Amino acid sequence: MKISVIITLKKDVLDPQGKVIHQTLDGMGFDDLNEVRQGKYFEIDTKETDNEKAKAKVEEMCKKLLANLVIENYKIIDPK
């Protein structure tokens, strides 16, 4: 089963890379943007077949390694 995780920076955390991407997009003519924030995306292929158990495991992974909860939020996308 494949589970996806999206990690984003929390609202108050400075994102200099997102800022530069925003500026570049602005320079390219996409000048109606309020903000750009950069994040991370993971695809985790697990042998677990139980949906809920797999999600619980991935949540543990997020808390222990994939995200740093001081600065990041994680969102687990429901497997289809």
Partner 1 sequence: MKSSVITFPGSNCDRDMDVALKKFGFKNKMVWHADAELPKSDIVVLPGGFSYGDYLRCGSMASKSKIMQSVINFANSGGMVMGICNGFQILVETGLVPGVLLRNKYLEFICKNVFVKINDKKNKYFKNVNNEVLELHIAHNEGNYFCTNDQLKEIEDNNQIAINYCDENGKIEDKFNPNGSIKNIAGIFNKEKNVLGMMPHPERMIDRSLSGEDGSLFFKNLINNLK
Residues in contact with partner 1 by CB under 8 A are 13-14, 16-17, 20, 64-66, 68, 70-71
Based on CB atoms, which residue is closest to partner 1, 26 or 50? 26
Q: What own/partner pairs with CB < 8 Å and gap ≥ 24 does 34-39 have?
A: 37/8, 37/9, 38/9, 39/6, 39/7, 39/8, 39/9
CB of 70 to partner 1, least distance (A): 5
CB of 71 to partner 1, least distance (A): 5
Based on CB atoms, which residue is closest to partner 1, 43 or 78? 43
Q: Is 25 exposed, middle or buried (CB count within 10 Å of its CB: 0-12, 13-18, 19+)?
A: middle
The one-letter code for the residue type at 51 is: N
CB of 53 to partner 1, least distance (A): 22
Based on CB atoms, which residue is closest to partner 1, 25 or 66? 66
Which residues lie across from 43 on neighbouring strands?
Answer: 4
